[in-house]
Structure 1
Amino acid sequence: MSTALHILILLVAIAPVLSCVYLGVLTLLSARLPTPRPSNQDMVFDVLIPAHNESQVIVRTLSNLQKLDWPASNYRILVIADNCSDDTAELSRQAGAHVLERQDATRRGKGYALEHAFAYSAQGPATAVVVVDADTEVTPNLLQACAARIEQGALAVQVNYGVLNPNDSWRTRLITIAYGAFHAVRSRARERMGVSCGLRGNGACYTHALLRQHPFNIYSLTEDLEYGVLLGLNGIRVHYADEACADAEIIDSERGARTQRSRWEGGRLAVARAYAGRLLGHAWRQRSATSFELALDLLTLPLGNIVLQIVLLALVAGGAALIVPALAAWLWLPLILLLILAAHVWRGWQLAPVGWRALADLAYVPFFILWKMYAKLRTRGNKGWVRTDRK
């Protein structure tokens, strides 16, 4: 009986132990990174804004992008008004942007819009393109950060992805902490390890040399994540620029937040199913640390799911200890795992633009986990570009 219970506990412990060890290592490696500077400001960029019915926010975003610390003659702002039925295109023109209008009832989605924009940009003088979502504000050093990495040989760059409205509610504060952990902590560590930090889409920079070699023809819900994985399989890592930020608006309404969460996590799960095995196989055959780490990233569940795994482990270990008291030593394991997760969340809080009040909001975590599980159950398989309800 004792042996069987040991085996049961081990089986339940495998997933949360691997996840927590991985997150613990990333936490330890998340110190500030060096900040390179470009040698000059001669590099030419196109800043691309894919927009589907974004008239509520597009003018604010364009106003922000016109303040970049880069010569105005060396960057162009392109809005891709994709299948819009509002006045996004007209407002963008009035705000001084170059507008590409696209209407295609069958080829719908952000991936198609980006493919169209990349092809258009390739006809001009730009060395690289930077993608910024329509609800986003960026730091003035966006192009400086990208140019510095490209000068060092990078073909793809991802800047820090943050939250524009962190203090709107307890939900946005918790999401901001999660962003700090998922984007800043992980990306700093991955850059320090010399592997790919992955692509988040918003604040992503691609050189045209890369796009010619590896065309962007991804049309899934998480086209950015998938493209980053494909780059890794081809031996190309995404470099991380920690000093620049792209801060997107997080929807505070329950309905809108659920839509965002469903798309993100549903799309991520689909990519994990499609590519985790391929990445592990490539890592083994090519001895590729980049592919191995990308697989670990995909296989690591969201923090809420890991907490549920640890709770299950504690219940199994506790039940086993009631039957065989000598097994009570196993109860230390879930406690240690929770401490590792707590350190990871704490580090995420340190790197997030929220104050001490956000720590008190951690009391909402059980409700947040339940809300996320509900959002997953409501995930739809629609691959079209469905605009998030901002109300």
Structure 2
Amino acid sequence: MLDLTTGLLHGLLAAAALLAAIPAVLLLAQVLASLWPGVARAVTPAGPRPRIAIVMPAHNESSGLLPALAAAQAQLLRADRLLVVADNCSDDTAAVARGANAEVTERFNTALRGKGHALDHGVRHLAADPPDVVIVLDADCIAQAGSLERIACLSHATGRPVQATYLMTAPNDSLKARIAEFAMRVKNRVRPRGMHRMGLDCGLYGTGMAFPWPVAATAPLASSHLAEDMQLGVQLARRGTPPLFCEEAMVSSTFAGTREGEQSQRTRWEHGHLSLLLGEGPRLVAGAVFAGRMRFLMLVLDMLVPPLALLSMATLVVCAIATLAAWAMGWYLPLALALLALAALAASILLARARYASDLVSLRELLGAPLYMLAKIPMYARFLVKRQVDWVRTKRDSR
């Protein structure tokens, strides 16, 4: 009985180490692939420009809506449309949008909350006069000049969803804010760039997304999931229209400027990601393996890479336990896997910082990252005992 228990514990520890190693090795592969020189980049296809409709979901966004509208309108032609979905608003978002000459539709349904339902409402509103391409742009995002046309043309030419580079900037110069910005660069630029250069597909990030009308009209948009963008990207890939990354197109926004807003924003993102990882991840992996869909499997594994802070914490904990087990019990397989995960993760972070974030954090400041990780432990603990399941708007400023 003791041997059976010992063998079971050995197997469980090895499995935990393997679960840490797989995303860490994938992350390293993505970072290394992003550094490959001489790889052709996506270009805007030749041919007539498609007719564009922007769908901009907005829940109580009147205070910051105008810059996003102005940046988008500067890139549209007369035949294009800019539709603001004023979703369950209690402020003057709709009036502000109309005052800026945007088309507006209002939606009131407190039972079905969340961005996915707002997008579904907006697409159905467009159906009477459908465009060639639908672009989703958040109400706090600024689209870089030329970006909307680029992703629209690429989407129209390929018949696939296209994801622009989506970056967020820190609202202040604190180390915590800059580390968060670094993690966002890794997630939304480095990793999809690496996937693209390996000839693989990327996920969706919620904004800066272009869909050919036939895809938009049939996509399962109406979702209350906190990670509806990740979920949608996988669902579309399973249907045969995986998203394509367009690094040259850029949209940007700023992290919440208040502690309350930052905590709310981060909790929504990471609880949503973890819910998707645990709730749908094993089924998606098994389905891809049994069907022999290796390309789809890589997209699913990319989706399942945990947030960088959580992956780092989990890897360090597994390494510590595996080290003790190797010393006390002579279990070296878990230790080897744990050290592989740690080495891959460390190499990924150092290479990504050197190439993509040397302006944000120095090597010395990176040593302060463990304090940032420790500060997130309560948020991960709440996922276990009281996880967030309802969509809550981020409080972006002091108002």
TM-score by length of 2: 0.86
From 12, 31, 38, give the equivalent of 1:27: 31
2:66 alignment partner in structure 1: 59
Give SS of 1:376's match: helix
1:37 alignment partner in structure 2: 44
Return closer, same or farther for 1:90/1:214 CA change in 2, 3 Å cut-off: closer
Return closer, same or farther for 1:288/1:328 CA change in 2, 3 Å cut-off: closer
AA aligned opposite 1:42: R
- The 5-angstrom pairing of residues 265-280 of structure 1 reads 265-280=270-285
1:231 aligns with 2:236: yes
Q: Compute the displacement of 1:162 (Å).
A: 0.2
Q: Compute the displacement of 1:354 (Å).
A: 6.2
Task: Tell me how far apart the structure 2 counterparts of residues 161 and 298 of structure 1 sit (CA, whole Å).
Answer: 16
Contact 2:261 2:394 in 1 (8 A): no
Contact 1:45 1:128 in 2 (8 A): yes
Q: Compute the displacement of 1:10 (Å).
A: 3.1
Contact 1:53 1:85 in 2 (8 A): yes
Contact 2:220 2:232 in 1 (8 A): no
Percent of counterpart pairs with the same letter? 30
Return closer, same or farther for 1:113/1:213 CA change in 2, 3 Å cut-off: closer
Question: After the TM superposition, which of the residue ranges 371-380 and 285-294 deviates more from structure 2?
Answer: 371-380
Task: Tell me how far apart the structure 1 counterparts of residues 137 and 164 of structure 2 sit (CA, whole Å).
Answer: 11
AA aligned opposite 2:50: M
Task: Tell me how far apart the structure 2 counterparts of residues 378 and 164 of structure 1 sit (CA, whole Å).
Answer: 26
What CA RMSD, in Å, does the superposition of the two structures yield over aligned residues? Answer: 2.9
- The 5-angstrom pairing of residues 119-158 of structure 1 reads 119-158=124-163
Contact 2:136 2:210 in 1 (8 A): yes
Question: After the TM superposition, which of the residue ranges 32-41 and 269-278 deviates more from structure 2?
Answer: 32-41
Deviations 1:8-34 (A, max 9, x none): 763442122222211121112114651
Task: Tell me how far apart the structure 1 counterparts of residues 109 and 333 of structure 2 sit (CA, whole Å).
Answer: 62
2:316 alignment partner in structure 1: 311
Deviations 1:69-102 (A, max 9, x none): xx52243221111111111111112222111122
2:202 alignment partner in structure 1: 197
Q: Compute the displacement of 1:145 (Å).
A: 2.2
1:254 aligns with 2:259: yes
Contact 2:97 2:103 in 1 (8 A): yes
Contact 1:138 1:246 in 2 (8 A): yes
AA aligned opposite 1:341: L
How many pairs align? 388
Q: Compute the displacement of 1:57 (Å).
A: 0.8
- The 5-angstrom pairing of residues 48-197 of structure 1 reads 48-68=55-75, 71-165=76-170, 168-197=173-202
1:300 aligns with 2:305: yes
Return closer, same or farther for 1:339/1:57 CA change in 2, 3 Å cut-off: same
TM-score by length of 1: 0.88
Contact 2:161 2:244 in 1 (8 A): yes
Q: Compute the displacement of 1:129 (Å).
A: 1.1
Return closer, same or farther for 1:178/1:354 CA change in 2, 3 Å cut-off: same
Contact 1:77 1:98 in 2 (8 A): yes
Return closer, same or farther for 1:164/1:141 CA change in 2, 3 Å cut-off: farther
Give SS of 1:72's match: coil
1:388 alignment partner in structure 2: 395
Task: Tell me how far apart the structure 2 counterparts of residues 386 and 200 of structure 1 sit (CA, whole Å).
Answer: 17
Q: Compute the displacement of 1:293 (Å).
A: 1.5
Give SS of 2:368's match: helix
Q: Compute the displacement of 1:285 (Å).
A: 3.5
AA aligned opposite 2:372: F
Q: Which runs of 5+ in 1 are unaligned?
A: none
Return closer, same or farther for 1:83/1:321 CA change in 2, 3 Å cut-off: closer
Task: Tell me how far apart the structure 1 counterparts of residues 360 and 206 of structure 2 sit (CA, whole Å).
Answer: 30
Deviations 1:179-214 (A, max 9, x none): 111111211122233333011111111121113343
Return closer, same or farther for 1:321/1:290 CA change in 2, 3 Å cut-off: closer
Give SS of 1:268's match: helix
Contact 1:33 1:188 in 2 (8 A): no
Q: Compute the displacement of 1:229 (Å).
A: 1.5
Contact 1:158 1:241 in 2 (8 A): yes
Contact 2:25 2:345 in 1 (8 A): no
1:343 aligns with 2:347: yes
Q: Compute the displacement of 1:270 (Å).
A: 1.8
Task: Tell me how far apart the structure 1 counterparts of residues 12 and 111 of structure 2 sit (CA, whole Å).
Answer: 50
Task: Tell me how far apart the structure 1 counterparts of residues 225 and 335 of structure 2 sit (CA, whole Å).
Answer: 42
Contact 1:172 1:252 in 2 (8 A): no
AA aligned opposite 2:145: P
Q: Which runs of 5+ in 2 are unaligned?
A: none
Contact 1:108 1:384 in 2 (8 A): yes
Q: Compute the displacement of 1:153 (Å).
A: 1.4
Contact 2:14 2:337 in 1 (8 A): no
Q: Compute the displacement of 1:154 (Å).
A: 3.4
